[in-house]
Amino acid sequence: MTTQPPHQPQTAPRTQGYLSELFSLEGRVAVVTGGSSGIGRAITRALARAGASVVVVARTEAGLTATVEELTAQGCRAAWVSADLSTREGVRTAAERAVEAFGEPDILVNSAGINLRPPMDELTEDVWDATMAVNLEAPFLLGQRFGPGMAERGYGRILHISSQQAHRAFVQSGAYGASKGGLEALARSQAEAWSPRGVTCNVLVPGFVMTPLNARLSSDPEKVAALAARTMIGRNGLADDFAGAAVFLASPASSYITGQSVFVDGGLSVH
């Protein structure tokens, strides 16, 4: 009687070593804005589980503490900073307090965002200013604060979360689409400035993801189904769909990818 050779145990450590070389974030420090909810929270979890020490920045303490407690319970290193990124002073305070936990970051993820959606005719200057401040100005200011240091140290990863509405108008893109269009252009400018010194700057572009950001739209089953039907995969996005792309773009494996917008949208944008 022949028996199957046992599964070769020496393969696993070799594979693990190779995967670590490519993707491990061990020893890296990450700052994730909006890391207490939705896409940002899934990215925070992914970076932390890949080895990074992560500082989560948002306003509401309950979401921040829940995120950090979840991660520390899994043996990850995480800390939080409560700050309002809608003012320049708030951004500056956030940055200064963020470095107190683990030092200067190697990875910056800008996921904090707002989408206020008034029809264009009713879009006030206040809505315009608030949208630009959180969605575009805060990523710019945090880039100015952390990008040069990353470049000086020779390694950095900046990752922005944009939107389909940077590329096409739908569901009242208003100021939001304009802010996200600017954000993608900002990523290219940052890439131009800092990539020669090891800092890559890229964008993840979601499709429709059911998070608190779009609670109103998510509560309409017909609209949700219609959006799912517009994807190629046949479903809307989940926050965890961003985990792999975020780890990849934060890791050594993506060192030759910069200035790019990567669509994590189930094919929505190409259907």
Ligand X SMILES: NC(=O)c1ccc[n+]([C@@H]2O[C@H](COP(=O)([O-])OP(=O)(O)OC[C@H]3O[C@@H](n4cnc5c(N)ncnc54)[C@H](OP(=O)(O)O)[C@@H]3O)[C@@H](O)[C@H]2O)c1
User: What sign for the dihedral angle of Cα 178, 184, 189, 194?
Assistant: positive
Helix (H) or strand (E) holding 79: strand 78-82
- Active-site choice (18, 155, 176, 256): 176
Q: Shortest distance, CB of residue 231 to ligand X, whole angstroms?
A: 12
Angle at 139 between CA 138 and CA 141, to 5 degrees: 60
Nearer to ligand X, 39 or 47 (CB): 39
CB proximity list for 190: less than 8 A, separation 6 or greater? 143, 147, 158, 199, 201
Q: State yes or no: is 155 an active-site residue.
A: no
Binding site for ligand X (CB under 6 A): 34, 36-40, 58-60, 63, 84-86, 111-115, 134, 161, 163, 206, 208-209, 211-214
Residue with tokens 């199957």: 4
Q: Shortest distance, CB of residue 95 to ligand X, whole angstroms?
A: 12
Q: Shortest distance, CB of residue 227 to ligand X, whole angstroms?
A: 9
Nearer to ligand X, 26 or 126 (CB): 126
C-alpha span between 125 and 190 (Å, rounded): 27
Nearer to ligand X, 24 or 206 (CB): 206
Number of residues written out for the chain: 271
Nearer to ligand X, 76 or 85 (CB): 85
Q: Shortest distance, CB of residue 265 to ligand X, whole angstroms?
A: 9
Active site residues per annotation: 176
